[in-house]
Structure formats: C-alpha cells, structure tokens
Amino acid sequence: MKAIVYTQHGLPLDDANALVEIELPKPQPGPRDLLVAVRAVSVNPVDTKLRAGVPVTEPRILGFDAVGTVAEVGSEVSLFRKGDEVFYAGSIVRPGSNAEFQLVDERIVGHKPASLDDAHAAALPLTAITAWELLFDRLRVPEGGGEGETLLIIGAGGGVGSILVQLARKLTRLNVIGTASREETSRWVRDLGAHHVIDHSKPLAAQLAALGVTHVDHVAGLTHTAGYYEQIVDILKPQGQFGIIDDPATLDAMKLKKKAISLHWESMFTRSMFETPDMIRQHELLDRVAALIDDGTLCTTLGENVGKIDAANLRRAYQLVQSHKARGKLVLAGW
C-alpha cells in the first residue's frame, strides 16, 4: 500500500524529504480492529509537532483524521461491518491515516455523516472529539445548560474552535464569545454562531467590558495559552473554569488559587492511548456528531481542500497549519 511518512524529524517543509511516499505491507486487523480503506484525511497541529520534534528509527505514518470504507473486520468487532463508511481520529500510538489502509479500534470510530462527502467529513473527527470532551466532559457544561454563563473561546477560528463554537451555541445556553484577529476569521466565527467576536491581538478585558461582560465563567484556551495566561486569570470569575488543549512550556498554577479557578486539560488521545473503560464514548459521540450534521444542527468545518493525498500536498498543508492563518480544517481527498 502507499503510505506517506517522515524518516527524519525536523527537516524544513520545503525539503522534499520532509515527507515522502513509500510502499508498505497492508496491515492485518487485530480482534477489535477495523481495516479501513482511507479516502480522505485532514491535517492537525499534532501532525506538525510530531514531525518537527519526535525522532524516529523507522518510517512513521502521521495523520489523525480519516474517512474511508471498512475493508476487513477483526474477530471481535461488533459495531461495524465490511463496507460501512466511517470517520475517526485514530490513536497517537498507532500508525496514522496518511496511507491507503489503516487499522483503528472500532471503539473510537463513528459512522460517517451521510449528508457529507469525504472531504467535508474528514474535517470533523479529531476536532469534534476534542471540542465535545472539552465542553461536556472537562468543563462539565450540561447539554441544555449554561443559562446566564459566558464561555470565552480563545482561537475560535481554528479547527477545534470552529466546532466548539457550534456545540456551545447549539447544545447549551451559554453566551459564546470567540476570539479572532483577522476580519475573514472573525466573520467565519460569527457565521458559526458566536454571539460576539473579539480580537485576541488586543487586551481582552477592555473588549469584554465593552460588551457588558466584566468576567467570564469558562475559558477555552485553544492556542498560545502561555501568552494569554495572565489575562485569562484576570477575566475569569471566582470559581471559574479554565480548559486548555495546547502545550505551554509551563503554567504557574498558584495564580489560580485566590479565585479557586479549576484547570482542565483535554487530550482526545487519552482514552485510546490508555484504553480507558469509557473508550467507547468516542464511538458514541462521533455517531452523535454525525446525526447532528445530518439533521442540520452542526456544519462541517472544512476550510480548504488542499488536493489529493500525496507528499507534496501534505507538506503544503503542514506549512499552512504552522502559519497559524488557516481557517477551519485543511483536508486532502483521493489518491
């Protein structure tokens, strides 16, 4: 099978050897595995971070979003059948989706939304899981709840922010405020349902005050958290909640003590990495997201279709992700 890999970490993305196409044997499914024929993938910041910073001793396949068809099933599979169309984000400890075939545990796979084509569906899995777990599992906002409370989403125009805005607006009663620094991205966030959009390149407290908001109940820190940390502590209410998904080098948790602010880390790979007892929740929430897409409650977050799945297009997509100017998700479809 074709697979796109990196064999040496940290090479500049304009180097043709940064990502290369090779031939590998088609893998064989374990008891709870699906063997998926991959038709579309998308790119996430985790791809670029791993390629840039994690050394390898053998070729590594990246990719943590996929849409495809179940080609084979393991002996204990009960949730899917051969021929099913699926979407999923995979596991960080297994080979990724940038290959013609991929093995994935059925417990982290959902049925593809019937109303979307492959490219639009591939934009969703990792960010939908991350946003769902952050909002409902970490910050513990109940569906239909949040009346009178405000959620500030820092970096609302990116992949996770684009679906988090929708989930918070459509499934809760929160006052949803997103941040963006470019007019194009601000318009995108408003169109996705944010009540207000403010500019994260300017002081946040003054912009919130202009909206009549003195403090917020919840903050979702999706990007550059270290740079906003002091402002976040300042604008959160006493006993507020701070959820984070990015990787600041360090955070001084003592700054949270006076206000009894709770800090919640979200990593959508935790359940699959540790095979937690509730691992199947990701199958359930992906099926729920698919239903919400098909009934028109949510929409895809595809920002750009970069082209077919090959090494050159992946390198270009990685460059766009690293520029921090991408709107929504970058997708590749077809071989």
Handedness of CA 243, 248, 250, 255 (dihedral sign): negative
User: Same structural domain for residues 156 and 283?
Assistant: no
Q: Same structural domain for residues 15 and 52?
A: yes
Q: Are 208 and 147 within one domain? A: yes
pLDDT in tens, 208-225: 999 999 999 999 999 999
Range of the domain at 256: 127-265
Residue 291 binned pLDDT confidence (cut-offs 50, 70, 90): very high
In terms of domains, do 117 and 226 share one? Answer: no
274: DSSP letter: H
Q: What is the pLDDT of residue 324?
A: 77
Query: In the chain, which ranges are E strands?
Result: 2-6, 20-23, 33-43, 60-61, 66-73, 85-88, 101-105, 109-111, 150-154, 175-179, 196-198, 216-221, 236-244, 262-265, 302-307, 329-333
pLDDT digits 0-9 by tens, 37-93: 999 999 999 999 999 999 999 999 999 999 999 999 999 999 999 999 999 999 999
Mean predicted confidence (pLDDT) in 107-121: 98
The reported pLDDT for the residue numbered 179 is 97
Q: Do 98 and 19 share a domain, yes or no?
A: yes
- Taking residues 165-190, what's their average pLDDT? 96
User: Looking at 233, 248, 265, which one is the last position of a domain?
Assistant: 265
* Average pLDDT over the chain, rounded to an integer: 96
Report yes or no: 217 and 237 within 8 Å, Cβ to Cβ. Answer: yes
Same domain, 165 and 237: yes
Whether residue 275 is predicted with pLDDT greater than 90 in this model: the reply is yes
- Of 259, 306, 324, 310, whose CA–CA distance to 122 is shortest? 306
Predicted TM-score of the model (pTM): 0.95
Is the predicted pLDDT of residue 6 greater than 90, yes or no? Answer: yes
Let me know how long the chain is.
Answer: 335
* CATH code (residue 310): 3.90.180.10
Query: Is residue 130 within 8 Å of residue 197, measured between CB atoms?
Result: no
- Flag whether pLDDT at 327 surpasses 90: no
Tell me the pLDDT tens digit for each residue of 253-272.
Answer: 999 999 999 999 999 999 99
* pLDDT reported for residue 295: 98
In this prediction, residue 149 carries a pLDDT of 98
**What's the CATH number where 190 sits?**
3.40.50.720
Q: Which residues of 143-175 are buried (b: 16+ CB within 10 A; e: fewer)?
A: eeebeebbbbbbbbbbbbbbbbbbbbbebbbbb
Structurally, the chain folds into a number of domains equal to: 2
> What percentage of the chain exceeds 90 in pLDDT?
97
User: Do 23 and 95 belong together in one domain?
Assistant: yes
User: Does residue 328 carry a pLDDT above 90?
Assistant: no
242, 265, 288: which is the final residue of a domain? 265
Domain termination site, one of 241, 265, 289 = 265
Residue located via tokens 């297994």: 94
Mean pLDDT of 190-199: 97
Confidence of residue 326 (pLDDT cuts 50, 70, 90): confident
Tell whether 171 and 300 lie within a shared domain: no
User: Per-residue pLDDT averaged across 109-122, rounded?
Assistant: 98
Instruction: State the pLDDT at residue 80.
Output: 98
Looking at the fold, whether 150 and 240 belong to one and the same domain comes out as yes
Residues 183 and 224 in one domain: yes
Name residue 190's amino acid: R
**Same structural domain for residues 131 and 261?**
yes
pLDDT score at 296: 97
Q: Amino acid letter at 3? A: A
Query: What is the tens place of the pLDDT at every residue in 225-243?
Result: 999 999 999 999 999 999 9
- 141 and 243 assigned to the same domain: yes
Which helix (H) or strand (E) is 189 found in, with range?
helix 183-192
pLDDT at residue 117 above 90? yes
